[in-house]
Structure 1
């Protein structure tokens, strides 16, 4: 990373990846560490389009299932998330996200999100140090302080729409003419336009207080930890309720009001995710594993019920997941920088 926050090792290029495996989908973005847990049932279909410029990383992500997403982007980054379209409810910190909610987040510690069932999202990641310097140079000293402290903004609707339209047009133009990324002059002009539009939106924004996790979500997360820290010795919900001196109805209510699903649904989805992760790792490493043993370790004792749940959740049987030579994604690269810029 250079002094102004530019990552010199990232060539300008575009990358489009389509995956039918939620585990692979969460590992596609270069420099990011994301975990995605599929919450809703059905075969997963995800498309990630990534455009890497000199100072901006632009990402468009489309998914067809509700996910729990957590992780981090590259060091010193800020991530601006702009939903283009969504079907269903999103959740952050136990709070329902309003339609079109814009998030400006610390890339080193992205907030855990429960995404809507279908989501078309565009994100912009950039260096906090580099962007703060650009903000100061533009004369927005107060804004620079807010950005450096990673405070939350509410961008006016007209600026949000203008920014979304610009980002979509950038993808369209680079798709139509990849040589835009080859020449330093066009890359610089593109980034200047994006920077000006972003500054215009943030300059008109108002600060918003970051809502803390609700007590209900804190309790739900405590239960998630107890249930998943050691799957082979996990207590059941009844035992957890006794341990925490709460009723089962209250526990289910905490999950419903924090994630939009019951505790039973959340824990089942997390355990199925754990099974799928182990089977996928075994397939990639060429190891032979017993599906029944893996399932039992994650608390599934009834074989036919487990396979039915697994198929309902992921659209395939566990035997398909572990099968060798399974193609689950397609990847396309375009562009490429040929000068030192």
Structure 2
């Protein structure tokens, strides 16, 4: 079993370190980021625990050929998964290849477990799960009985911590399989509990739809980010509706949110290039910032550092020509 534990001071570094996931994290709340990530994996399972002290929006695609579960450990504020309200009385489910958007509140702590789809179906086929489980697994947010969730959360976390603390104990295929089956069994017992309503349907809210549409419009043409007035016209809704939607879903206003997403875009550009490849001014312009003094001030306010202080990519050393031989 491959294990790893990291701490980061940047949500972008955190996002790119989650094994097998194609995603971006954008920091929305202002302040120095403190992120913790522990994970273990083999060919059939990937489990990771993440904690981030800032409000973050996650956007990406779930790993293809997988089925992904997330068990929130602490949800201290408004959270939205695929447009559905989420709290610490539910689990999240994503099918491999699904595009997802997750609004994570400050100080959220979450355990995620991803199974290789074929292995998951093989493990599922050997047990007489109640009817309706398949339909329930297609719901991104599943409400589960509170007492059962507390028990399952405790056991899953104990299993996870055992592997992270002593990976040498899981060094045989048989030991790895025991961990996989124990985690899958815990999740399936949870959602097959008679008290779990397998007919539940939680639709995406109109407010979440507005926020997610605005987010996508912002990143689709980064250099010409739409204003709030433009967004209202495109969505055919009032400014008040847009304001209320952002306050409900993101706990901030649309101007601040959109600017934060764009500032995160600049930060990713800077961290993935060298100064020789891309100047700060050109990176800012790619995301619609053309007044560098205002940009630098807003960047510092969000990330607690100036753009010039952001760590850039390291240039590869020049390749030396081999010495000629007689």
- Is TM more than 0.5 here? yes
Q: How does 1:33-182 map to 2 (within 5 A)?
A: 33-53=22-42, 55-140=44-129, 142=131, 145-146=134-135, 153-182=142-171
Distance 1:35 1:235, change over 3 A: closer
Report the secondary structure of 2:111's partner residue: strand
Quote how far apart the aligned CAs of 1:249 are: 2.7
Task: Give the alignment's Cα RMSD to 1 decimal.
Answer: 2.7
Cα distance, 1:186–1:150 mapped onto 2, change above 3 Å:
same
Q: How far off its partner does 1:323 sit? A: 4.6
How much does 1:84 deviate? 1.0
Q: Residue in 1 aligned with 2:207? A: 216
CA contact (8 A) 1:310 1:317 kept: yes
Mark the runs of 5 or more structure 2 residues left unpaired by the alignment: 316-326
Q: 8 Å contact 1:228–1:234 — kept in the other structure?
A: yes
Q: Report matched runs for 1:1-341 at 5 Å.
A: 12-53=1-42, 55-140=44-129, 142=131, 145-146=134-135, 153-204=142-193, 205-207=196-198, 209-242=200-233, 246-283=237-274, 287-323=276-312
Q: 1:232 to 1:172 in 2, by over 3 A?
A: closer
Question: Aligned-pair distance for 1:150?
Answer: 6.0
Range with bigger deviation, 119-128 or 294-303: 294-303
* Counterparts of 1:311 and 1:208, CA distance in 2: 48
Offset from partner CA, 1:46-90 (integer Å, 9 cap, x none): 111111145322111111111111223332211111111132221
Normalising to structure 2: TM-score of the pair? 0.84
SS in 2 for 1:135: helix
Q: In the comparison of the two structures, how many residue pairs are matched?
A: 313
8 Å CA contact 2:29–2:54 kept in 1: the answer is yes
Decide whether the 8 Å contact of 2:67 with 2:114 is kept in 1.
yes
Structure showing greater relative contact order (alpha-carbon pairs closer than 8 Å, 6 or more residues apart): 1
For the residue of structure 1 that corresponds to 2:19, the secondary structure is coil
Contact 1:279 1:291 in 2 (8 A): yes
Residue range with higher mean Cα deviation, 310-319 or 293-302: 293-302
- Return closer, same or farther for 1:159/1:308 CA change in 2, 3 Å cut-off: same
Cα offset, 1:142, TM superposition: 2.2
The change in CA–CA distance for 1:267 and 1:60 in structure 2 (over 3 A counts) is same
SS of 2:47 mapped into structure 1 = strand
SS in 2 for 1:201: helix
Partner of 1:337: none
**What per-residue deviation string (whole Å, max 9, x for no partner) do you get for residues 171-229 of structure 1?**
33234432222123322333333333233212203225443333333333343344432
Q: Is the 8 A contact 2:136 2:199 kept in 1?
A: no
Deviations 1:21-63 (A, max 9, x none): 2112111122211211111111112111111145322111111
Change (3 A) 1:227 1:255: same
Cα distance change, pair 278–145 in 1 and its aligned pair in 2 (3 A): closer
- Normalising by the residue count of structure 1, what TM-score does the alignment of the two structures yield? 0.81
CA distance in 2, matches of 1:243, 1:154: 34
